[in-house]
């Protein structure tokens, strides 16, 4: 990692932290998956939608597309029916496109831990990805251990990458009427905060996609110390 790349990482971390200002985007808490590497798990982590509702969504889109095809066939000269048929067809196409994207994500997600060039230790991932509670959150700690030979630029750059990750993780938290989820914060090569399913997906992206190119990671430690239920309706973490 050269000086220019290091400065770019630090600028990006500062920009995201300043823009976020401690606020987090309100989202519906993602439902969790039964298996850590199944298609249903990928769908839940990637989209925040359970497999059941997603199947219904694709089915409804297919039904709408079929109705649209029937309208277009029965009223080929009508502009009004052609527009309605086109709209219904687009709804069906959107559902199947989303399904295709999810399948592609799943193919890359399967066995991701075995493909890492460094060990991922701790029980954090198993708990994050396998919970079946829709509103389950975990006190989570992420530590990146670098090789002793890693340069100072790599160490400083990795710390900046962790800061960027924290701003991204915080965007998947929501605001409680009473109490609050612990925002992600980084100090050196350690980051911690509350993680739900959507944060777990971002942890996967960070560990599997951002860290390997550094070529200096010795180990990544992901641990969970406490779990609790918190939702916008049930306001007490």
The pLDDT tens digits for 168-222 are: 999 888 777 667 789 999 999 999 999 988 888 899 989 999 999 999 999 999 9
Same domain, 100 and 171: no
Q: pLDDT tier at 50 (50, 70, 90 boundaries)?
A: low
Asked whether residue 29 is domain-assigned, the answer is no
Asked whether residue 26 is domain-assigned, the answer is no
User: Which of 9-23, 54-68, 100-114, 152-166 is the least confident region?
Assistant: 54-68
pLDDT over 70 (residue 78):
no
Same domain, 128 and 182: yes
- Looking at the structure of the chain, the number of domains it has is 2
pLDDT over 90 (residue 150):
yes
Closest alpha carbon to 50 in 126, 172, 133 = 133
pLDDT over 60 (residue 146):
yes
Residue 172 CA, chain-centre distance (Å), reads 8
Q: pLDDT tier at 226 (50, 70, 90 boundaries)?
A: confident
Same domain, 15 and 46: no
- If one compares 33 and 82, the residue with the highest pLDDT of the two is 82
Full-model pTM: 0.65
Same domain, 93 and 179: no
């Amino acid at each position: 990692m050269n000086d220019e790349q290091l400065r770019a990482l630090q600028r990006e971390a500062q920009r995201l932290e300043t823009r976020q200002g401690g606020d987090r985007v309100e989202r519906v808490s993602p439902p969790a998956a039964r298996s850590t590497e199944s298609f249903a798990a990928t769908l839940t982590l990637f989209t925040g939608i359970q497999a059941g509702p997603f199947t219904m969504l694709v089915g409804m889109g297919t039904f709408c597309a079929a109705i649209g095809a029937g309208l277009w066939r029965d009223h080929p000269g009508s502009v009004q029916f052609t527009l309605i048929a086109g709209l219904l067809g687009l709804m069906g196409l959107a559902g199947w496109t989303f399904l295709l994207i999810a399948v592609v994500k799943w193919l890359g997600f399967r066995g991701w831990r075995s493909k890492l060039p460094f060990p991922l230790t701790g029980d954090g991932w198993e708990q994050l990805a396998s919970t079946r509670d829709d509103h389950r959150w975990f006190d989570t700690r992420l530590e990146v251990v670098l090789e002793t030979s890693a340069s100072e630029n790599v160490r400083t750059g990795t710390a900046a990458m962790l800061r960027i990750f924290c701003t991204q993780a915080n965007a998947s938290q929501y605001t409680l009427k009473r109490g609050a989820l612990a925002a992600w914060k980084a100090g050196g090569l350690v980051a911690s905060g509350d993680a739900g399913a959507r944060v777990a997906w971002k942890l996967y992206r960070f560990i599997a996609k951002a860290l390997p190119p550094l070529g200096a990671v010795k180990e990544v430690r992901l641990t969970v110390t406490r779990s609790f239920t918190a939702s916008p309706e049930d306001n007490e973490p």
